[in-house]
Amino acid sequence: MHTLEQVRSGELAGITRLKISQQLTSFPSEILTLADSLEILDLTDNRLSQLPDDFAKLTKLRIVFMSNNCFTELPKVLGACPNLEMIGFKSNQITTVDETALPEKLRWLILTDNKITQLPDSLGLRPRLQKLALAGNQLTELPATMAQLHNLELIRLSANRLQAFPIQLLDLPKLAWLAFSGNDFNRHQQVDNDLPQVSPADYQLQHVLGQGASGVISLATWRNNAHQLADDIAVKVFKGEVTSDGYPQDELNACLKTGRHPNLVQSLAHVTDPKHLALVMALIPAHFKNLGLPPTFETCTRDTFPDGFELTIKQIDSMVAQMTDVITHMQNQGVSHGDIYAHNVLFDDEANILVGDFGAASIYDDQPKEIQQKMKTIESRALGYFIEDLLSVCQTQDRTSPTFQKLHNQAQNLI
């Protein structure tokens, strides 16, 4: 974290990345003195509502974050920034996105949790766009021009007001991660399931094990195990009304509809109290660990791995077989996971995997058959990318094996 005083003093001359959070109400003109070097500007958690017309003097700027501010429109001057690729304006009060506000080189746009009712046709005229986060707005339809986004790989559309399925996305050749729950055409579908309901009074939350966009997972112990469920449990308590992936109720519904599979984190019971929406899960054995790391600014939509991390081709082959079975199971239930990634997978030394995180899951078995089939194609493409990512960390001596070639061919056929 930096301070405005450091910028004013000249201490930060030549800096490439600047982050300031000081309840700023106006854009500090001193930042423009960094135009010769600044590539990443993070002014999240301030009180800004406008950018100056000369903001485009930041000609080397590639990434800008201004989430949790007070903007009511996406600043038009962003469209004049010659090298701007990534824009993050999550959780403002944006209602309007002008035709001219989107830079030509745009790859990654985050407008989650705003009040946008309409998007400009120019959005579909940004050929480099790969990642688009629009959950938690008031969109009733998408521009028809989005059918031209041939490099789009991930889009989040949950918790909007879409009146019909956005069919212009279904034939995009690279789309692999699509989330659309909680819209007017599919809001909070009713789901049949055989999981028992329990009360928050039936368990005691212990320490936090982890948390994500949609909730907090804690170790828990039973106070009243009336259904004689597993002794070792974790409880995911969902966060507020809407998250970066959509409504918690839709995530819970998708999880319940998917049901049980040996390679899914096992759900045991659920809580329907609206003040404490929660999912009780079997505690994951301690020897499981994360398979991958999330994408970076550079990789955009593709997973990363720790330095030096390697897998044998035998491990990869086993993991791919298990993931394929998981996706087939979910497709048979009419559910898209929407977030098939190595960073959402746990594995052990025997190459057993567990898939979790249903935050981006969507139910589609109530859609026409043609849409259902294309949703399966999209999710299968995610499997292809998953295979590619694992092969990228395959041990060198295994890269000439027949199994490596088989998996490579499988990925290419899916992609």
* pLDDT tens per residue across span 315-347: 999 999 999 999 999 999 999 999 999 999 999
pLDDT band at 30 (very low <50, low <70, confident <90, very high): very high
Give residue 273's pLDDT.
77
- Give the residues across from 128 on adjacent strands: none
Closest CA to 51 of 70, 23, 34: 70
| Cβ proximity of 125 and 147 under 8 Å | no
Cα distance from N-terminal residue to C-terminal residue, the chain: 40
For 106, residues 6+ apart whose C-beta sits below 8 A from its C-beta are 84, 85, 86, 87, 126, 128, 129
Amino acid at 47: R
Domain(s) labelled CATH 1.10.510.10 in the chain stretch across 289-414
Question: Where does CATH 3.30.200.20 sit in the chain?
Answer: 200-282
User: 200-282 has which CATH code?
Assistant: 3.30.200.20
275 is in an annotated binding site: no
pTM of the model: 0.92
String of DSSP letters for 157-173: --SS--SS--GGGTT-T
Mean pLDDT of 145-170: 97
* pLDDT score of 360: 92
Q: Domain 289-414 maps to which CATH number in 3.30.70.270, 1.10.510.10, 2.60.40.3470, 3.50.50.60?
A: 1.10.510.10
What residues have CB less than 8 Å from 275, skipping those under 6 apart?
none
* 184: exposed, middle or buried (Cβ count in 10 Å: 0-12, 13-18, 19+): exposed
pLDDT of residue 189: 64
For tokens 């899914």, what's the residue? 264
